[in-house]
Chain A
């Protein structure tokens, strides 16, 4: 379903992502708050990784660093072989444009722009001509099953449709990595299943590397690998099924230990 991509050219020898002892702290009013204490993890091409963690676990911070929206205060982050912390803001923008496709919880489509132009925008920033960008956008909309919606405005579409448009936008520049931040957070269960099926299909059929950030175990279950964060450190890194099993037993232990408190993730 995807056009054949360049990512297979250099094969699987080099990891897509290498996170080496990444630290991040925020400085506000001269108080330094450390959030990531040294995260290590790497990801190969074609993997489907779910990142889970409670609020305050550093999940969002790691997501921002992985998405090149923020740079680490310590350690190394290599994306597609490039040392990210050394890059300027403009270089980061180009890297995001070429390497990462974002899918957000609140869809984040631009108002006042047609669906087609929304999908074409990453290509426009990449310097592709408008006609070519629109052509490729239409093609990508076909792929997510919204071929006939190109001329509509975002607010004329349902949430699930908008999220599929966002996925089309994430894929249009053919990036090696798709970063989905709570992609089903604003959707009902039925639509969530549709969106997750679409992502799973992309991973299976087109070998699309996907990082999925979520707090819902049901959604994380679609991934093949699970990375759990706690207090700025990696708590678990392994097969999703095992990890989720472990989470469930932890939870039931907690419930047994503290029956009065309904603790949920």
Chain B
């Protein structure tokens, strides 16, 4: 007996009792959908984090000013400016540091001709392009000379450049930031979100010296909002953090038993936390999926046993006219597998629908990959074999004489 024929019969048997078949399939459908979503969420979070790190640059930390725990009032983090450009340079000189950039931030109105937009303007140094993996779509980046001479030049994010210039070439054009004239020298190619810059497409980069003079008022002239540093290796991040703490405590003359007046934020740690949350969510879904698949599998076994009993006479007739025990075994086994595979396909379709719904919100990207589909299909087939085998074997062991007598 050929497999195509057995499959055709299996589908006919499934359609003979559609409601029962559908209810039987439900457990497997839910289980497979959960498993596929679990894999999609896992992949989605990994992709999200990879994308973040790609935009941000890897092995980065951020040093923020923090208030000292001195007697009296305690101000909010970042409101006092204890970090300076000189601190950044000192950090830059550390052997464990690949590069360090000081940052000044402001939110300003950007205008070109009649159009204007609001954007985050970040005053920084040329090293920011290296440590953050910033690529230029057109023009050039900030240079050391721009920083030392406080040039009025700006590098625009991709989206803000499009917003202001539409299809015209922005390079060399003059824009106004807070009513002060700047020349556009470059446009970034990067997309996506960064931890401290927000949407990279909406950022405007200017030399930190220019920002300090023209855009940002600080309590002390050399103060910066924060410093971003990159370690030379992924393993060296913690060592770098220790080095930075040491050099800053020394420079700020903090006594041994006093707390730091700065705070180190490890982006890698944040990414890891995100990953852990994602893994937890995926694990929970995977658990629901596994339970659902086992319960669904037991349901299939139950229904197959009922089906074998109901069709005892059919089995007898088939055996009488020449079905071998193995033919009967295959018939019922393939029926169980077919139920599971159809459930698997429905489950995959449902998870794809849910993924599309999540993607439509734009908050998070879920992709049901070929790998997830393959795993789900194999898994549902395996459940069919596992839970279908016993009923099928029971059918194959029936005696034709007794089956034909069965009413």
Residue ranges of A at the interface with B (Cβ–Cβ < 8 Å): 64, 67, 69-70, 89-90, 93-94, 96-98, 102, 104, 108, 110-113, 121-122, 124-127, 129-130, 169, 173
Task: Chain A residues near B399: list those with CB within 8 A.
Answer: 70
Shortest distance between the CB of A163 and any CB in chain B (Å): 14
Q: Given the complex, which residues of B lie within 8 Å of A70, measured CB to CB?
A: 399, 401
Task: Evaluate whether A130 and B5 lie within 8 angstroms (CB atoms) in the complex, with A96-B320, A125-B327 already known.
Answer: yes
Q: A126-B322, A130-B5 are contacts. A110–B314 as well, Cβ < 8 Å?
A: yes
Cα A173 to Cα B313 with chains together (Å)? 22
Q: Beyond A108-B317, A110-B314, is A93–B324 a contact (Cβ under 8 Å)?
A: yes
Measured between alpha carbons, how far is A124 from B330 in the docked complex, in Å?
14
Which B residues from 321 to 368 make CB contacts under 8 A with A? Answer: 321-327
Asked if B256 is at the interface of the complex by the 8 Å CB criterion, the answer is no
Task: Give Cα A112 to B8, complex, Å.
Answer: 12
Given A90-B326, A110-B314, A112-B16, residue A127 in contact with residue B1 (CB < 8 A): yes
A206 to B216, CA, bound (A): 110
- In the complex, the chain A residue whose C-beta lies closest to that of B320 is A102
The listed residue (B314, B322, B400, B404) touching A94 by CB distance below 8 A is B322
Q: Is the CB of A89 within 8 A of B325?
A: yes
A104 to B400, CA, bound (A): 13
* Whole-angstrom distance between the Cβ of A236 and the nearest chain B Cβ: 26
B325/A122 in contact, CB under 8 A: no
Question: Among B1, B320, B325, which residue has its beta carbon within 8 angstroms of that of A69?
Answer: B320
Instruction: Establish whether residues A121 and B320, one from each chain, have CB atoms under 8 Å apart when the complex forms.
Output: no
Interface centre among A93, A98, A124, A126 (most CB of B within 10 A): A93
Query: Would you call B12 an interface residue if the criterion is a C-beta within 8 Å of the partner chain's C-beta atoms?
Result: yes
- Which residue of chain A has the shortest Cβ distance to B15 in the bound complex? A112
A158 shortest CB reach to chain B, Å:
20
Q: Which residue of B lies closest to A173 (CB)?
A: B322
Known: A110-B314, A112-B12, A127-B1. A121 touches B401 (CB 8 A): no
Known: A93-B325, A110-B314. A125 touches B1 (CB 8 A): yes
A121 to B9, CA, bound (A): 12
| Chain A proximity of B230: nearest CB distance (Å) | 68
List 6 tightest A-B contacts by C-beta distance, closest first. Answer: A97-B322, A125-B322, A93-B324, A90-B324, A122-B321, A69-B400
Which of A67, A89, A112 is B320 in contact with, Cβ under 8 Å? A67
CA distance A126 to B324 in the complex (A): 10
Is the beta-carbon distance between A96 and B321 smaller than 8 angstroms? yes
- Give the residues in chain A near B323, CB-CB below 8 Å: 93, 125
B204: interface (CB < 8 Å): no
Residues of A within 8 A of B320 (CB): 67, 69, 96, 102, 108
Measured between C-beta atoms, what is the minimum distance from B275 to chain A in Å?
53
C-alpha gap A69/B323 in the complex (Å): 12
Whether a CB of chain A sits under 8 angstroms from the CB of B135 is: no
What residue of chain B has the Cβ atom nearest to residue A63's Cβ? Answer: B401
Q: Please give me the residue from chain A that is nearest to B4 by CB atom.
A: A130
Measured in the bound complex, the distance between the Cα atoms of B404 and A69 in whole Å is: 10
Taking CB atoms, residues of chain B closer than 8 Å to A173 are 322
Q: What is the distance, in angstroms, from B2's C-beta to the closest C-beta of chain A?
A: 8
B400: shortest Cβ distance to chain A, in Å? 5
Could you say which residues of chain B place their CB within 8 Å of the CB of A94? 322, 324
B321 and A125: CB pair below 8 A? yes
B321 with A169: CB separation less than 8 A: yes
Residues 65 to 101 of chain B near chain A (Cβ within 8 Å)? none
Q: Is A89 a contact partner of B324 (Cβ separation < 8 A)?
A: yes
A45 to B319 alpha-carbon distance, docked (Å): 25
CB closest residue in chain A, given B323: A125
Q: How far is the CB of A13 from chain B (nearest CB, A)?
A: 27
Q: Which B residues are in CB contact (< 8 Å) with A113?
A: 12
Distance from B111 Cβ to chain A, minimum over Cβ atoms (Å): 77
